[in-house]
Amino acid sequence: MSDTEYQKALGRKIAQHRRRRGLSQPELARLIDRSVAWVSQVERGVRKVDRMSVLEKVAEVLDMPLSELAAEAPVVAAANEEIPGAAGLRLVLSGAHSLRAMLHTSPVPTTPQVRARVDKAWELVHDSRYVELTELLRDLVPALETAVRSAPDGRRPELFELLAVTYQACSAALAKLAEPEAAWIAADRAIVAAERSGDPLMMAAGAFRLGFVFLGARHFDQAEETARTAADALWFLAEEGRPEAMSLWGGLTLQRAVAASRVNDADAAYEHLARARDIAERLGEGRNDYNTEFGPANVALHEIAVAVEVGDAGQALRVAASVDPSGLSAERRARMLIDVARAHTQRRHVDEATLVLLEAETVTPEQIQNHRVVRQLVSDLLTMQEPQSADLRGLADRVGT
């Protein structure tokens, strides 16, 4: 049985046993601590139950053996195809660059020379151009590791800062490429370099990157703990109105909203969103301090993501209709479009979801064609439409579905 067939069969089985127990969808939703929209989508086979703990709770409430719900779950094989750039970035982190730097000195480049390359690295991350990023970091990381150890004491803090930003870029890319172990290593190195630079806000930026690693690895409790403790430490600076601290605090609070939504705690998620929105309004404009891209538009993007995650497709589409993401990076705009497509899919709007994904593909083709969420979305859309449109079939071929 395929994954899609299992999803539909599971939904029918849950609906059948819910009716056997004499429960309405709202009653079942309350008993399993989920939204009514979530229950409806699962029963229609358009939403996955992707955690065994949730399946166990459903079986318990419906008074049925867990084995009856999980018996036909498909075994999903790991994809053999590796996303371009992932292997190269892992190799960048695997080199013994710091050891060589300790044993061999070399001329130290000027700060403007290095900063231009670091800025280029982040430009490539935001544009999801991972192959080019790998080529850049292959030389930049060892060069910086050597520079921070060869430079006179007076220059080391600024070079450690640039090293921290470089490792943050590497971590951000690896997190997006679903490489959590390598992304964690890069984030940890970024935090260590930031501490040696003496810049606490740069350390907070490293924690911000680490939060993305935990979210991608589905370690939601760790994502919440990292973001909470970093945000708490920064709060007095944000409250004083220091813009860089406000941006970092806001970005960390948005991470807490996403983590809460992933465990279906809608109340906490929307509370974090409201606090982030307040501080974004105080800033008054979108900023990109420490590559957070924090501002009102980014808060709106996270509201869309949270609404989709808790099953409120209508709210996600309403927010999407009112937001202008043009000032954000290509990666963030594409991420928003993926969430909008998810909302349309939850409502079985196949043509609308397809058009949105095609728009996202024009923004960041490399990201869309290699994104596991997009693959699952396209797979779901294929099951909803018969016959499939040429646009949908072409998109499915390009993402490998």
Give the whole-angstrom CA distance, residue 115 versus residue 42: 49
DSSP string, 315-381: HHHHHHHH---TTS-HHHHHHHHHHHHHHHHHTT-HHHHHHHHHHHHHH-HHHHHT-HHHHHHHHHH
Q: Does this model's pTM top 0.85?
A: no
- Read out DSSP for 241-284? T-HHHHHHHHHHHHHHHHHHHHTT-HHHHHHHHHHHHHHHHHH-
Type of residue numbered 179: E
Please give the Cα distance from 186 to 313 (Å, whole number): 35
Residues 332, 299: Cα–Cα separation, whole Å:
11
Mean pLDDT for 314-341 is 92
Residue 158, exposed/middle/buried by CB under 10 A (0-12, 13-18, 19+)? middle
Say what the pLDDT of residue 230 is. Answer: 97
Nearest CA to 62 among 19, 18, 97? 18
Higher pLDDT, 190 or 369: 190
Confidence of residue 4 (pLDDT cuts 50, 70, 90): low
Q: What pLDDT is recorded for position 77? A: 35
**CB count in 10 Å sphere of residue 110:** 9
**Model pLDDT for residues 210-254, shown as the tens digit of each residue:** 999 999 888 999 999 999 999 999 999 999 999 999 999 999 999
Q: Please report, for residues 60, 241, 257, 320, 368, the alpha-carbon distance to residue 305 in angstroms, rounded to integers and kept in the order given.
A: 29, 28, 10, 10, 17
DSSP SS3 for 110 = coil
> pLDDT for 74-97, tens place per residue?
433 333 445 667 889 999 999 888
